Every structure is written in structure tokens, then in C-alpha cells.
Structure 1
Amino acid sequence: MKLTRRIPVTAPGQAIDLLVQACPELSKGRLKDAMNKGAVQLVQGKQHKRLRRAQSEVSSGAVLELHYDEDILQRKAPEPVLLADERSYSVWFKPAGLLSQGNEWGDHLALLRQVEQHFTNQRPVFLLHRLDREASGLVLIAHHKTMAATLSQLIQQQRISKTYRITVLGKVLPALLQQGEISLPLDGKACCTRFNFAAELQNPPRTVLDVALISGRKHQIRRHFAAVGHPVMGDPQYGQGNQDAAGLALQAVRLAFELPGKGLREYAVPATLLR
């Protein structure tokens, strides 16, 4: 079952009672589960926030929004791995299949929510950058606003070095390897992907590359390599002949940055988690 409800609140009451009244096709238990998994939002003016407590009091003039998808709510998320807890921020390994953050249909399948729960909601969480759902690798999460601002500024200034390991279809010819970059505009904007040779695989022929993004357009690595005839293996959206039962061969494997007053910080995916 999949449904959406927008419920204007005309008289104050408990959230669960208002939802039960507006959604008779769903049991109270299912509605509570949807709330717990982030599928209910409270809208007050321009503010949207997830409403998880069934007994939350809702004021007149507010709006409850329910986005219920039984299939999504029944899914179980793969678990992320905490690689470093630096108190003001943490570094996580996001497995393939896990969203970076939730959407209107809930957030129980998202890294950000799982990090909140890991710290038993005792720390704020700020997502600083994203990985595609199909991709895996390192993600930085800040735990207070000052650190979030500091790390966000480093990202904007391209002072956080990110290395991605990909496996692409076919043998990349020496001329392209020597060129070492793809500078094709995407969405009408200039962008550049730089790469180095890492290994060559056979049966079928594939090439492993280490990649650095000089810009950050949507799906930039995947789109660039598909455009030059070497789509990323396992990519469900870009390229042909690159199917791979192991999934998308794109992993964020290294982060490095100078943290003001604290020096160089480097993080890498451990060998046990490398694709």
C-alpha cells in the first residue's frame, strides 16, 4: 500500500489520533511505525520536521504530512560502520544500499538517522556531503554547528581531498590514461574528473582507477566515464554492458584535510571493507 495524506489541523490534539482519523485504511500500529521511521512530518509555516512521538501534541493551524509506502517501511537498512569518533565529528563507512539522508518517505534507510540512533540522540548530526545510494565509502558527519561550518567551508574551498576507487568496463587506452582527466561539461557547467591507473582486470576486461573530483556535479564520475565509453561496473543508470551482480564499483576510499589548529587528518577505508 502506498498513500499520501496532507492533514490540516483544525483543533489541537495528539498526532496519532489525528492520523487515525484521517487514515482509516491504516491501523494505529502501522501509523506509529511510520512515525517512528520518519514518514510523518509536522509543517508549521515554512518549518518541516519529522514527528516521531505518537503522543505529540499538535496545535491548530499546523499540518501533518504522511507519506506511507509499505514496501519502503518494511525494508531493512544495511548497517554503517563507525571508523573514527572525533567527538566534534565522526567518520563513517556507508555501505551500498544505504541512503545518505532520508526523504519524505522516511529516514530509517538513511545513514544520518542511523548515526543519530548510534549516539542515542545525544548528539546533533550534520551531513556534510553525500554518496549515491548505490555507492559505498567514507562520509563525514559533524556533531555541532561550529564544526559543521568549518568542515563545510573546507569542502567549498576544495581543501578536503577525496579519493574514489572505481572499476570501469574495458581496458582504458594509454592515451586516455596519460591525459589523466575528463573535462566534459555536465548540465551546462564546466567540470573536471582526474584519475590515475590502479590495476587491470580480465574476464571481462576492466580497469581499476583512483579518481579525484575537481568539481562536484550530480553523478559526475559515473556520467563522465560512461561518456568516454568506460562506464563504471554495476552502474544501474549509466552505460551499457557494465552489469555486475556485485553492485556499483564506486567507493569513496580516502579523506584527507588540514583541520585548523589540529593539523592533518587522514582517513581510509580498511582493507576488510574495500570492494
Structure 2
Amino acid sequence: MKISKEIKVETAGLAVDLLAAQVPELSKGRLKDAMNKGAVIWRRGKQQKRLRRAQSPVAAGDLLQLNYDDDLLSRQCEPAVLLADERTFSLWYKPPGMLSQGNEWGDHLSLLRFAEQQLGNRAVFLIHRLDREASGLLLLAHSPKMATTLSQLMQQQQMDKRYQVLVRGKLSQALLEEGVIRQKLDGKACETRFKLCAHQPDANHSLLDIKLISGRKHQIRRHFAAMGHAVMGDPRYGEQNQDPSGLGLQAVELSFQLPGQQKIYHYKLPSELRRYG
């Protein structure tokens, strides 16, 4: 069942009672679960937030947006893993199947929500993203100042981000010698550098080490699909690249230097979390 409905509050009361009256096809139990998982947005003027508590009071003039999808709300995945806590920022392992952040349909399977629950009262800001099907290192900030600093480093290409990617087929010698794809995406310049780690002729796969220079949406997946070497397990781009083990894309290394500091922060995904060793 999938329901998307905006409700204007006419009379003050409790959120779950209003929702139950306006959406009778959902029980209060289902509504409470949906609210807890972030599927209800409350708005008052310019204010907006996810309304999680069923007993939250709402006032006349408030707006409630319910986006209910029982398939999405029932999904589960492995938990994220906190790999490094530097107090003002932290580094996490995002498992496949987990969103980087929530959307209008909920946030129970997002790293941001998971980190909020694990870290208590600390603020959480997303610095970059990984596709839902991908796994690997993801960086979060815990203050507006640090979020701005890290975002600027990312935008100025002063963060070294490395990935391992399993693609279909054997890359030509000419493509390997060039070692870079600069095809524009969405009309914007972007660059993906790569080198061969191993070719598996029996499976007709190639494992690549990737350095991402820019950060366009689905850049790695789109670039290699355009070259005729789609990422294995990618449900969106490429052909004949099905893989029951999932998307063959993992963020494995991250390094950067904060302004005014000598220390270089360098993180590698632990071997036990790596897909390809």
C-alpha cells in the first residue's frame, strides 16, 4: 500500500488522532510506526520537521504530510558501523541498502538517522553521499562550522576519495593506458581516474581502483556504463551486469587535511568490511 496525502489541521488535537481520522485505511499502529520511521512531515509557516511522536500536539493551520509506503517501511539492512569519532566529525561504514539520508518517505534506513540515534544529542550533518546500493566510508560533521569546512574541502577537491569497483568485461589496453574518463555528465565537466587491480577472465569481470575527482550524481556508474563496462550489480545503468551479491561499488579510502592543521586524516575501510579484500 502506498499513500501520499497532505492534511490541513482544522482543529487542535493529537497528530495520530488526526491522521487516523483522515486516513482510515491505516490503523493507529501502522501510523505510529510510520511516524517513528520519519514518514510524517509537520509544517507551520516556514518551520518544518519530521513528526515522530504519535501524541505530538498539532494546532489549527498546521500541515501534515503523510508519505506511506509499506514496502519501504518494512525494509531492513545491516547496521552502520562507527569507525572513527573525532568529536567534531565522524567516519562511518555505510552498508548496502542504507540511504545516506532520508527522504519524504522516511529516514529509518538512513545513516543520518542511525548516527543521530547512536550519538545522542550531537548534531549530525551529511558531507557527501553514497548510493543506497553502494557501501563504504561516509563522513559526517557534528557542528555547522565543521560541516562548512569539510564541504568546502570537498568542493575544492582537497579530499582524496578512493573506491573499488567491479565492472563487466576486460578493459582495452588503450583505455587502461589513458586511465581517466572525462565525459561530461548533465552538461558539466567531471573526471574519474582509474587503474586495474585484477581481471577475472572466468567471470569476465575487472576490479578497478578509482579516484573520484569530481562528484556528479552516479558518476562512476554512468561513466563506466558509457564505456561499455557497467558496474556489476547496477540495476540502473548498463546491460548484462546482473550480480546477486549486489552493486560492485565500495568507498574504501578517504584522506584530507583541515585548514590550519598539520595532521593528515587518512582512513581506510577495514579488511573485514571490504567486499574485495
Asked whether the 8 Å contact 2:194–2:208 carries over to 1, the reply is: yes
Aligned positions of 1:33-48 closer than 5 A: 33-48=33-48
Inter-partner Cα distance in structure 1 for 2:201 and 2:138? 31
Inter-partner Cα distance in structure 2 for 1:251 and 1:49? 32
Inter-partner Cα distance in structure 1 for 2:207 and 2:141? 31
SS in 2 for 1:16: helix
Deviations 1:129-174 (A, max 9, x none): 1000111110001111111111111111111110011011111122
1:115 aligns with 2:112: no
Give the aligned partner of residue 184 of structure 1: 183
| TM-score normalised over the length of structure 1 | 0.96
Return the offset for 1:248. 0.8
AA partner of residue 265 (structure 1): Y
What is the RMSD computed on CA atoms of the aligned residues?
Answer: 1.2
Moved more, 131-140 or 11-20: 11-20
Inter-partner Cα distance in structure 2 for 1:192 and 1:182? 6
Q: How many residues align?
A: 274
Moved more, 71-80 or 172-181: 71-80
Deviations 1:30-89 (A, max 9, x none): 111111000001012233210011121212211011111112112223211111011111
Moved more, 44-53 or 164-173: 44-53
| TM-score normalised over the length of structure 2 | 0.95
Asked whether the 8 Å contact 2:193–2:211 carries over to 1, the reply is: yes
Inter-partner Cα distance in structure 1 for 2:75 and 2:227? 36
What are structure 2's unaligned runs of at least 5 residues? none
Asked whether the 8 Å contact 2:77–2:95 carries over to 1, the reply is: no
What are structure 1's unaligned runs of at least 5 residues? none
Inter-partner Cα distance in structure 1 for 2:238 and 2:21? 48
Asked whether the 8 Å contact 2:168–2:206 carries over to 1, the reply is: yes
1:9 aligns with 2:9: yes
Deviations 1:177-226 (A, max 9, x none): 11010111111222211112212223122211111122211111111111
AA partner of residue 133 (structure 1): R
Aligned positions of 1:45-60 closer than 5 A: 45-60=45-60
Could you list the structure 1 runs, at least 4 aligned residues long, displaced by more than 3 angstroms after superposition: none
Give the aligned partner of residue 71 of structure 2: 71
Asked whether the 8 Å contact 1:77–1:108 carries over to 2, the reply is: no
Aligned positions of 1:87-106 closer than 5 A: 87-106=87-106
Give the aligned partner of residue 256 of structure 2: 257
Inter-partner Cα distance in structure 2 for 1:146 and 1:45? 27
